[in-house]
Structure 1
Amino acid sequence: MEEDFIIYQVKPHDNLGSIASRIDMKEDDLKSFHNIHCDKMDKIWFSDLRGIQFLCVPTHFVTPEKKIEALQKFLPQKKYSPLLHAKKYNVTENFERQNESSLNFEYDIELDFQTDQGQIFVNTHQKEFRKDGNKPDDKISSLALDCRESISPIPFVIYDHGRIASLFKPKEIAKKFKSKREEIEDFHIGEVSKKYLDLFEDNISNESYFFKQLNSTILFQILFPNTNWFHKTQFWKEKYTIIPNSFDLEFKFNIEFDDSHSNLLISKITGYLDEQCSLRELLRGIKIEDEDPEDNVFSEIKLIYETEKVSKRIHSIDAKIIIKYQGENYQTQHLHLKQS
C-alpha cells in the first residue's frame, strides 16, 4: 500500500536535519522517502536543501525503534512458556533430492507439557503417519512405525529460551522398548526384522546419539525455536543443523515482521550459510582436510512463524531448507505445521 505523504514547502532556514527532527525521522530516511515519492520534483542530494522548493514528508512515519516497541506486545516472551505451543499440530513434509524421487509425508504431533521439580519437559507423540496420502504398508516402514510407537511419547527437557535441552529420563525410553520388544517380534518375524530391532535398541540405548538423532531433525528445530529470535533487531549468527545426524553449521540470520493481519503476527526468518563446508563433509558428518573449495555447498533457511497476537501461541510454521551444490539445487526440505 502506498504511504501517505504531504508536499511540504521548504522555508528559507530549513535544512534536511531540522525537518527530519521535527517528525522524529533520520535524515537519510527522509531523503530516501522524498527521492522515492518525489516523481518529477527535484531529488535531494545535500542536507542544506539548496534549490529544493518542495519536500515529500510522510504523514504517518514510524521510526524503526517505535515499530519494535509497538511489536513487543505481540511477540512471544523471551523466557519460554508452554503457552507458546498448541497441544497438537498437523505436519506435512516434502523432501526432494537431486536425481531421486520426491517424498511426501503427513502426520500429527501431540505435545503434553509437564513439570518435574520446576523443570519443564514435554511429551512428544508423532502419530497418524501417511506417505503420499496413504498409511505406509511395506514391511520396513511398518516395523519402523511400530518401534517408534513403542517408545512414544518421547519426553524432552526444554531450555528457558525454548530450545530442546535433552531427553527427559532417557534410560526409561530404552526400558520401555525392551518391555515391548517381544510383542513386536511376534508380529515382525525374520532375520531382517531382528537386525532392525537390534539396531533400534542399540541406538536408543546410546543416549547422546539418540538425542542428536532427534534434535537434529528439522521438525524439532523449528517446533522448538530459540525464543530470543523474535526479539532480534539486527543480523545475528547461530548454529543450525540442516542434515540430520551431521554437524551443525553457522548461519547468518535476519528477521522481519508483518503485523498487518488482525489476529496474527508473521515473523519471517532468513538464514544464509556463513562458513565453508563441502557436500561430502555435510553428508558424512565429519570435517575433511584439504577439501576442494569448488565442492562447497550453499544453503538457505527460510522460516515463517505465524503467532496469535493475543495468546502469542504458534499458529503455524512454514520452513524450507535449501542446499545447493555447484550452482544447482541438491536438496530441498519443506515442512508446514499448523495448529489442529
Structure 2
Amino acid sequence: MAEHLLEVRNLSVEFHTAAGIVPAVRNISYHLDRGETLAILGESGSGKSVSSSAIMNLIDMPPGRISSGQILLDGQDLLTMPAHARREANGRRIAMIFQDPLSHLNPVYTVGWQIREAMTTHGMQAGPARSEAVRLLTRVGIPDPEGAMGKYPHEFSGGQRQRVMIAMALALRPDLLIADEPTTALDVTVQAEVLALLKELQRETGMGVLIITHDLGVVAEIADRVVVMEKGEPGRDRHGARGLQEPDPSLHQEADRRRPWKRRDAHRAADGRTAAQRPGCPQALRLLRSAEGRVFRPQGRRNHGDRRGERLGQIDARPRSSEAGRARCRHCALEGA
C-alpha cells in the first residue's frame, strides 16, 4: 500500500501564449494522507488552482502543458494512466468542489438530475441513484430535499448551491476531495456552516481534503498542514494555524524591498539598536532644534506628515529614561528622511 493517499512530486505546469511560455506552477511537491486536511494558501495568480486542476485533468491542453512531475494516487501516477482509467478515477476516487457553484451547475437541468448523473455515469441504476441523491441533499442540510430535487440552480441561495456541490462531489464517496475556494462570496455565517459540514463529512468518510484558499481564517479553522505558494513556487510546509504564526525570513525581506519606509534600521547604533530603541533619540532632537515647525516629508511616502497634520515641533522626542518609556521619533522609523 502507498505511503500517502496523494503525493505530488515536482509538478510543473506552463501555458503557451502569444507572448511566450508562462510558467504557472514550478516544481511543487506535497502529500496528503487519509483523514487529513491540507490547505494550499496563496494570493491570486500564485498557481494554487492550476496545481489542483492538474490533479483532476482539467487543464486545457493546449495551451496548457504539464512539463514535468508526478501525481500519485495510492502510488499510481495519474499522468501516465490511460484516458479511460483517468476518467474512472475522477468522481469515484477524486472529486472537486468548484469556486463558483452557479457557474459550474448547469442552469437548464434540475439539481436532482445533475446529482443523479454523477452516479449513473459510473454505473448506478436510476432508482437507487435518485434515492441516494435525496439522502445526500438531506445530509448536507438542504430543506425539503424531495422538493429540491426538482429545482434549478438559480432557485437556491449561494450557501445552498455550495451544499448542492458538496452533495454532488460526495455522491460516489471519493477518497480525495478537492475544495477550490469553497467559501468565496459567502457571508461569514454561511462560511462557518460550510466548513463545519466539510469537517463533519470528513470524519464520517475518512477522506482526505485538499482545500485551495487565500483566506487565512479558513486555513486556521480547518487545515492540519499548510503549503504556501507564491509566483507558482511552493514555500515551507507549515502545520496548521500555529505554523502560520512562524516568521518567514524570505517574506520579511520581500516586504522590506517593496516598502523601504517600513525599515527600522536607518539610524543603527554601534550596539545594534536603532535610535528609536534608545532612551533618547539624538537625531530627533537635532531635527527639532534645526527645523522647528517645518513639515516633515520622509522620502518614499509622499505627504506623510501633512496627512496626519504632524510637524517636527509636535514630536515628543524628549530624552527619557528606559523606565519612563522610549522616545518616539518618526524619522528613526523611516529611511532616507
Greater RCO structure (CA 8 Å; 6+ sep): 2
TM-score bracket for the superposition, by shorter chain length? under 0.3
- Structure with greater proportional strand content: 1
**Alignment TM-score, normalising by the size of structure 1:** 0.23
